[in-house]
Amino acid sequence: MTELPHIESLRGGTTAAIAAADLDLKTALAQETARRWFARTLSMRSPRDPALPARPGRPERPELIPPRHMEKRSLHTLKGRIALLHALAHIELNAVDLALDIVARFTTERVPHSFFDGWMQVAFEEAKHFRLIRDRLRELGADYGDLPAHDGLWQAAHDTRNDLTARLAVVPLILEARGLDVTPTLQAKMRETGDDASADILDVIYNDEKGHVAVGAKWFRFLCARERKDPSATFRELVRANFRGPLKPPFNDVARAEAGLTPSFYRSLVSVSQS
* Residue extents of the structural domains in the chain: 10-273
Encoded amino acid at 274, one letter: Q
Mean pLDDT of 9-29: 97
The whole-angstrom separation of Cα 263 and Cα 253 is: 7
pLDDT at 76: 87
Residue 275 has pLDDT above 80, yes or no: no
The whole-angstrom separation of Cα 126 and Cα 30 is: 9
pLDDT at 142: 98
In the chain, what is the greatest distance between 2 CA atoms, to the nearest angstrom? 54
46, 11 Cβ separation under 8 angstroms: yes
Residue 179 has pLDDT above 80, yes or no: yes
Encoded amino acid at 43, one letter: S
The whole-angstrom separation of Cα 15 and Cα 100 is: 7
State the chain's mean pLDDT as an integer: 93
Q: Tell me the CA end-to-end span of the chain in Å, nearest whole number.
A: 50
CA distances from 54 to 51, 97, 158, 178 (A): 9, 12, 8, 25
**pLDDT tens digits, 103-113:** 999 999 999 99
**pLDDT tens digits, 35-54:** 999 999 999 999 999 999 99
Residues near 53 by beta carbon (within 8 Å), at least 6 away in sequence: 15, 18, 19
DSSP 51-105: PPPSS----S-SPEE-GGGPPP--TTSHHHHHHHHHHHHHHHHHHHHHHHHHHHH
The whole-angstrom separation of Cα 44 and Cα 28 is: 19
Strand partners, 64: 149
Q: Range with the lowest mean pLDDT among 87-91, 122-126, 150-154?
A: 150-154
Provide the whole-model pTM.
0.94
The whole-angstrom separation of Cα 108 and Cα 11 is: 10
The whole-angstrom separation of Cα 56 and Cα 47 is: 22
54 CB burial (10 A radius; 0-12, 13-18, 19+):
exposed
Residue 222 has pLDDT above 50, yes or no: yes
109 three-class SS: coil
